[in-house]
């Protein structure tokens, strides 16, 4: 694409997190209340260091489809890990490529101290897609 846009320009800054020890039922209720499709799992209540991610798909495939009890299983037991992350200065193109290659739809964003500062989703990228097309057209007109 060749745009100048970076992950930090379009990421969602308010990230919903759950600490270790929360049950899957707690996670599902939080996802419903927040109208989101995933939560980041953190070791502690400060929520600075992301350890994994739980998506709606994880809950369906790893808990419900297996007949497991969501009251008895904790977030850290089913979270997807290792967590793939990006830095805010990563280009949108590189982030999109990482999503495609790893077959994931969300990338937590961390700072240089590896602290969670945002999340980038496919939806975030699609929202700016018209801007990217405009940039490409402008560059083509200049060349």
37: CATH? 3.10.580.10
Q: What is the pLDDT of residues 20-73, one digit of tens each?
A: 999 999 999 999 999 999 999 998 777 788 999 999 999 999 999 999 999 999
Look at residue 1 and tell me whether its pLDDT is greater than 50.
Answer: no
In a domain, 93, yes or no: yes
In a domain, 73, yes or no: yes
Whether 107 contacts 95, CB under 8 Å: yes
In a domain, 2, yes or no: no
In a domain, 26, yes or no: yes
Residue with the two structure tokens 């969501």? 70
In a domain, 90, yes or no: yes
Q: What is the pLDDT of residues 70-85, one digit of tens each?
A: 999 999 999 999 999 9
In a domain, 67, yes or no: yes
Q: How far apart are CA 64 and CA 114, in angstroms?
A: 33
Range list of H helices, 35-121: 56-59, 75-78, 92-102
Burial call 1-33: b when 16+ CB within 10 Å, e when fewer: eebebbbbebbeeebbbbbbebbbebbbebbee
pTM score, whole prediction? 0.83
The number of folded domains in the chain is 1
DSSP for residue 84:
P
In a domain, 64, yes or no: yes
In a domain, 13, yes or no: yes
Full residue range of the structural domain in which residue 60 is found = 7-142
- What region, left, alpha or beta, does residue 90 occupy, with left being phi > 0 and alpha being psi -120 to 50 degrees? beta
């Amino acid at each position: 694409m060749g745009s100048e846009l970076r992950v930090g320009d379009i990421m969602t800054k308010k990230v919903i997190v759950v600490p270790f020890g929360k049950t899957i039922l707690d996670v599902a209720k939080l996802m419903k209340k927040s109208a989101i499709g995933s939560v980041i799992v953190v070791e502690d209540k400060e929520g600075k260091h992301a350890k994994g991610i739980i998506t709606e798909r994880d809950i369906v495939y790893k808990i419900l489809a297996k007949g497991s009890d969501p009251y008895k299983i904790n977030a850290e037991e089913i979270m997807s890990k290792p967590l793939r992350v990006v830095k805010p200065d990563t280009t949108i193109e590189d982030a999109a490529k990482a999503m495609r290659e790893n077959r994931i739809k969300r990338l937590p964003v961390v700072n240089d101290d590896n602290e969670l500062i945002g999340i980038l989703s496919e939806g975030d990228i699609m929202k700016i897609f018209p801007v990217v097309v405009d940039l490409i057209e402008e560059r083509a007109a200049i060349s």
